[in-house]
C-alpha cells in the first residue's frame, strides 16, 4: 500500500525533491510548516514530500494505535527499533523515491530526511539503495541494526547531516553518536551538530538545514 503524503510543490520548475519523514505519533503535517522557514531559492526547484507513516499499535504506549514507522517494544536502545517494521517502511519510502525518479528527478537531486523514528528509516534506507541520493538528513535519531550496516550498505560515500539535542531524553545523544561512529567507520561523510535542547528542532538548526539543502541540491 503506497503512503499518502503532504506535498509542497516548488514555485518554479521541479528540479529536486526532499522526502521528510516525521517522528512517532506525528504525521506528514508536522514538518510541512518548516518549508517557508527554510526559504530555499525558487531556482533550485525543490518539491517537499512529507509522507504519513502507517497507523499501527505501539507496544511501549500500551498498544495504542498511532502513526509509526515501526513498533517500539522496549526503551532499550538495542531493542528499540523493530527491524521488520523498519524494513517494511523503508520499502514504502523507496517507492516514493522511485516515483520521483520516474518523473525525471535524478537520484542525485533527491534528499531523504527524517526526525526521530523518521530518521531511523532515512539512515536505514539511503545507504542500502542502489541509487546514490544527494544526501541524508537525520535529526534527533539513531540507527536500527548498526551491526548489519557494514555488510548491507551499498552507498558508502553518501553525504549525511546529523543534528541532535544534548538534553534529549527521548533519544539520548549517545544514540545519535553511535550511528555517527558506525557511518564514519564505514567511510561515509557525516557532518554532526548538537544543540542545548531536548527532542526538538531549534531555529539555529533550521538555518544549518537550509544551507546544507541548498549546498546539496543546487
52 classed as catalytic: no
116 classed as catalytic: yes
Distance CA 180, CA 123 (A): 10
14 classed as catalytic: no
Q: How many CA atoms lie less than 13 Å away from 91 in the CB half-sphere?
A: 7
Task: Please tell me which residue in 82, 116, 124, 164 is annotated as part of the active site.
Answer: 116
Cβ pair 195, 166 in contact under 8 A: yes
Task: Please tell me which residue in 14, 131, 193, 199 is annotated as part of the active site.
Answer: 199
Task: List helix spans (H) across 146-188.
Answer: 149-152, 173-185
Beta strands (DSSP E) in the chain are 5-8, 16-21, 46-51, 55-58, 64-67, 110-115, 135-139, 159-165, 189-195
- The helix/strand/coil state of 33 is coil
| Closest alpha carbon to 136 in 103, 154, 162 | 162
| Closest alpha carbon to 184 in 209, 165, 156 | 156
Distance CA 183, CA 164 (A): 16
- Any idea what the Cα angle at residue 148 is, between residues 143 and 150, rounded to 5°? 100
Task: Please tell me which residue in 26, 71, 82, 168 is annotated as part of the active site.
Answer: 168
Q: Which residues are catalytic?
A: 116, 168, 199
Amino acid at each position: 500500500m503506497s503512503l499518502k503524503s503532504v506535498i509542497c510543490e516548488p514555485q518554479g520548475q521541479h528540479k529536486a525533491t526532499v522526502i521528510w519523514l516525521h517522528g512517532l505519533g506525528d504525521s506528514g503535517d508536522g514538518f510541512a510548516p518548516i518549508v517557508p522557514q527554510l526559504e530555499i531559492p525558487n531556482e533550485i526547484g525543490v518539491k517537499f514530500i512529507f509522507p504519513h507513516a502507517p497507523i499501527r499499535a505501539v507496544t511501549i504506549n500500551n498498544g495504542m494505535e498511532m502513526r509509526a514507522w515501526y513498533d517500539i517494544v522496549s526503551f532499550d536502545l538495542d531493542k528499540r527499533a523493530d527491524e521488520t517494521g523498519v524494513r517494511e517502511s523503508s520499502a514504502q519510502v523507496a517507492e516514493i523515491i522511485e516515483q520521483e525518479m520516474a518523473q525525471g528527478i535524478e537520484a542525485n537531486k533527491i534528499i531523504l530526511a527524517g526526525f526521530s523514528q523518521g530518521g531511523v528509516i532515512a539512515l536505514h534506507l539511503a545507504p542500502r539503495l542502489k541509487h546514490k541520493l544527494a544526501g541524508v538528513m537525520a535529526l534527533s535519531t539513531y540507527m536500527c541494526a548498526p551491526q548489519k550496516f557494514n555488510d548491507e550498505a551499498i552507498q558508502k560515500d553518501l553525504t549525511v547531516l546529523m543534528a541532535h539535542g544534548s538534553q534529549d531524553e527521548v533519544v539520548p545523544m549517545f544514540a545519535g553518536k553511535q550511528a555517527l561512529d558506525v557511518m564514519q567507520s564505514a567511510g561515509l561523510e557525516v557532518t554532526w551538530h548538537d544543540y542545548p535542547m531536548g527532542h526538538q528542532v531549534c531555529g539555529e538548526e533550521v538555518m544549518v538545514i537550509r544551507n546544507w539543502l541548498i549546498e546539496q541540491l543546487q
